[in-house]
A and B are shown apart, each in its own frame.
Chain A
Amino acid sequence: MSFFADVIICREAVGSSGTAAAGFMGFSFVGKWVAAMSERSLSRLQLHDLHLAQGGRTVLEHVDGDIKPGAITALIGANGAGKSTLIQAIMGELRPISGKVICTVDKARRAWLPQQLALDLTFPMSVEELVMTGSWPSHGALKGYCAAHYRKGRDIMARLGISHLAHRPLGELSGGQRQRALIGRTLMQEAELLLLDEPFANVDSDTVDILIRILRQMADEGVTIIIVLHDMDHLSRLADEVLMLSGGHGRWVAPSALSHQHASAKVVPFALGGRHAGTA
């Protein structure tokens, strides 16, 4: 089945580029491309006077910000401060009451790893198969995977140190192994916007080290990364920008200021007592 789909997709590609009307279309495409490139140097994710509510209750008001590409933005705040709510709004899962989220990243290149995963771990799927589903933006539902793509998947698993788990069912993985596999999927997806909600909860320190290294590499390649953090140590190692949510407002603070101010504290001040509980 997938073979036929391949052929059809190739034909379509040849057909559209070969038409006489391509001149006009090409022109508008170049225009779009120039616009996209100029946007690329600016931020690809902007928050404008955002007002968010959950179940009739205002969670956040007047949140503004340019999330810089190639930088890792940490989102901090106490439980119920609205971190997860803000992430939902950015992903387009929650409609703002007023204000807007402007995101120029293609929907298929946005990756979101929520705290409470919707992942069905009883489903019979191996680590490699999970990583390969990340090729959806380029392959969709029908196109067959070629050898090059399998190689790319294996390279990604090697980078994350999970090559030996390739054929292990998802249900048999530890928390850290599962988190690595999921990051593998976002790498396969070539995500340009990555939203992580407490990715280091219930994860071993080796995994934390590897993930921090990989996230830094992704940021260097221009990926916009937003990450909900509670641990001061992780914050000082990762964050380039910090958006602190408290009292229904967002405040941008310098990570250096935070780490100097609370050099002795292990846990981010607003998050005290919240490391093991769920967030709103």
Chain B
Amino acid sequence: MLALLDAWFVAPFDYGFMRRAVVGGLALSLAAPPLGVFLVLRGMSLIGDAMAHAILPGVALGFLLAGFSLPVMSAGGVLFGVMVALLAGAVSKMGGQREDAAMASFFIISLAAGVLLISMGGSSVDLTHVLFGSILAINSTALLLIASISTLIVIILAIIFRALVVECLDPLFLRGQSRRSSWVHSVFLGLLVLNLTAGFQTLGTLMAVGLMMLPATAARFWSKRLEGLIGIAVVLAMIASTGGLLISFHLDTPSGPSIILLAGVGYLLSALFGRYHSLAAKLRRKTTPLALEQSS
């Protein structure tokens, strides 16, 4: 029994690349889910997806210029992500079109450009690598980059936290209170782009959104408080990233989809058995007696 546990859960980490991958995954699991929680609460769940497509041409360009170098590819990704976000914002301001419509137009252009760039300079193997990620490729430089970006995201999120909460709840109030209120949204989109570029190495550009959104949507079934949502989402993401890596190691599946599918299983289980709004909660329909509520 012990030997089996050892073979399943401990032995994989004898390999250096697995150790680096799991540390990278845990770092991402700290940074990504809080962003996802805010996206879900603002009804912007699909913006993450759009941004993930938007960074692809930048990543591809970096790949063409410097080969498989994570810092260069990440820099390209951040550059393109921020550019698309700014362009979408500008178009929506200028033409009265809603921001999501402009974003949808730009991200699909980006995706096409990205795929074209990659296929110009490399093989289909490279394309799969960028789109779906690979744990084998995480070296120390990559790990350092992922950890630094995740730390930066957590720190900046802590700084803008109150402003972000107030902006989500009542943008009109924040506008009256602070001249810098429009920054909050931009900084938040910037964090999103940063997080996606950090995630594409392990998860791939398209899958990186999964670690952000799935734990956040699953957490909605477990908590009604903001702190609860963020905490639960982070724990779910950590379980999914570690478990997914182990599955990918043992079953020889690509790491990105394994991690995201495990997070997906977490989401489905939450939807079935969660505390609030889940199928089980609907069937239970238990309420607190009035007397008990008043005494508490």
The interface of chain A, by Cβ under 8 A from chain B, is: 1, 91, 107-108, 110-112, 114, 117-120, 122-126, 130, 133, 136-137, 140-142, 164, 169, 185
Task: Decide if B170 touches A124 in the complex (CB within 8 Å).
Answer: no
Q: What mask results when residues 90 to 134 of chain B are scored 1 for a CB within 8 Å of chain A, else 0?
A: 000000000000000000000000000000000000000000000
- Specify the main secondary structure of chain B where it touches its partner: helix
Task: Decide if B172 touches A120 in the complex (CB within 8 Å).
Answer: no
Of the listed stretches B57-65, B68-76, B203-211, B221-229, chain A binds B221-229
Task: Decide if B226 touches A125 in the complex (CB within 8 Å).
Answer: yes
- When distances are taken between beta carbons in the complex, the residues of chain A under 8 Å from B174 are 136
**Most chain A C-beta atoms within 10 Å of own C-beta, residue among B155, B225, B294:** B225
- When distances are taken between beta carbons in the complex, the residues of chain A under 8 Å from B225 are 124, 126
Q: What mask results when residues 207 to 247 of chain B are scored 1 for a CB within 8 Å of chain A, else 0?
A: 00000000000000001111001000000000000000000
Closest to A134 in B: B173
B165 at the interface (CB under 8 A from A): yes
- When distances are taken between beta carbons in the complex, the residues of chain B under 8 Å from A125 are 165, 169, 226
B166 at the interface (CB under 8 A from A): yes
Task: Decide if A124 touches B224 in the complex (CB within 8 Å).
Answer: yes
A17 to chain B, nearest CB (A): 24
Task: Decide if A141 touches B162 in the complex (CB within 8 Å).
Answer: yes
Given A136-B166, A136-B177: A118 touches B41 (CB 8 Å cut-off): no
B147 to chain A, nearest CB (A): 19
Closest to A172 in B: B224
Task: Decide if B176 touches A1 in the complex (CB within 8 Å).
Answer: no
Given A108-B176, A125-B226, A137-B177: A120 touches B169 (CB 8 Å cut-off): yes
Sampled A-B contacts (17; CB under 8 Å): A107-B177, A108-B176, A108-B178, A111-B176, A118-B171, A120-B168, A120-B170, A122-B41, A123-B165, A123-B168, A124-B224, A124-B229, A125-B165, A133-B165, A136-B177, A140-B178, A141-B159
Q: Report the bound CA distance from A191 to B137 in whole Å.
A: 57
Closest to B163 in A: A141
A1, A123, A141: the one within 8 Å of B178 (CB): A141
Task: Decide if B170 touches A119 in the complex (CB within 8 Å).
Answer: yes
Task: Decide if B162 touches A123 in the complex (CB within 8 Å).
Answer: no
Q: Report the bound CA distance from A76 to B177 in whole Å.
A: 28
- When distances are taken between beta carbons in the complex, the residues of chain B under 8 Å from A130 are 169
Task: Decide if B163 touches A91 in the complex (CB within 8 Å).
Answer: no
Given A108-B177, A125-B226, A136-B178: A114 touches B172 (CB 8 Å cut-off): yes
Task: Decide if B170 touches A142 in the complex (CB within 8 Å).
Answer: no
Task: Decide if B41 touches A123 in the complex (CB within 8 Å).
Answer: yes
A186 to chain B, nearest CB (A): 10
- When distances are taken between beta carbons in the complex, the residues of chain A under 8 Å from B172 are 112, 114, 118
Given A112-B176, A169-B224: A124 touches B41 (CB 8 Å cut-off): yes
B265 at the interface (CB under 8 A from A): no
Q: Report the bound CA distance from A130 to B169 in whole Å.
A: 9
B160 at the interface (CB under 8 A from A): yes
- When distances are taken between beta carbons in the complex, the residues of chain A under 8 Å from B136 are none
Taking A136-B173, A185-B173 as known contacts, 13 extra A-B pairs with beta carbons closer than 8 A to each other, sorted by chain A number, are A112-B172, A117-B170, A119-B169, A122-B41, A123-B41, A123-B168, A123-B169, A124-B229, A125-B165, A133-B170, A136-B178, A141-B159, A141-B163
